[in-house]
Amino acid sequence: MFTDQGRPLGAMLLIITDDHRLLLHHRDDVEGIPHPGRWAGFGGAVEEGESVRDALRREVMEETRLQVQNPIFLTNEIDLEGDGRLISLYFVNGGISPADIDLQEGLGIGVFNVSELGDLDISPFVRRAIQSHLMPLLSGSEP
């Protein structure tokens, strides 16, 4: 596990669909993983010798069989409620639909409108990133 100043690193992708909805990953509901059973993006740990961007591409490929082209850096968030990892969040805006995903990990995927996000059990650091950075895109207006 790669670290930055002693803090483990992770990478996560959030997907905005062509119709301005958020495509999320329903995490496995098992002990030993951060935020079991919650909704989040696709991603995982950065391995030693791996860049965050390479980890993002590898994790997304492992979980979805998607080859992510040109992910856009969104923000860094510390997963305070999980394992304390520093997560680099990226997003793609359009070009990916649920039918493109061949899910290999997790309980499923879901596509949600802004109005549905409030009641959804989303990992807290992911919710913070969505609220702080993605709401203009999800509402159909550019930031």
In angstroms, rounded to a whole number, what is the distance separating the alpha carbons of residues 113 and 4?
35
Q: Is residue 118 part of a domain?
A: yes
pLDDT in tens, 49-86: 999 999 999 999 999 999 998 999 999 999 998 888 99
Strands 86-93 and 7-16: parallel
In angstroms, rounded to a whole number, what is the distance separating the alpha carbons of residues 15 and 21?
8
Is the entire prediction scored with pTM above 0.85? yes
* pLDDT band at 136; cut points 50, 70, 90: confident
The amino acid occupying position 39 is W
The domain in which residue 134 lies consists of 3-138
**Other Cβ atoms within 10 Å of 26 Cβ, number:** 17
CATH number of residue 126's parent domain? 3.90.79.10
Q: Is residue 143 part of a domain?
A: no
Q: Is residue 38 part of a domain?
A: yes
Q: What is the rounded average pLDDT of the residues 113-128?
A: 94
Contact between 74 and 91 (Cβ < 8 Å): yes
Q: Is residue 80 part of a domain?
A: yes
pLDDT in tens, 3-57: 566 789 999 999 999 999 999 999 988 888 888 899 999 999 999 999 999 999 9
Q: Is residue 95 part of a domain?
A: yes
pLDDT of residue 138: 86
Angstrom distances, CA of residue 129 to CA of 49, 57, 75, 85, 126: 26, 19, 7, 15, 5
Total domains, the chain:
1
* pLDDT band at 142; cut points 50, 70, 90: low
- DSSP helix/strand/coil, 27: coil
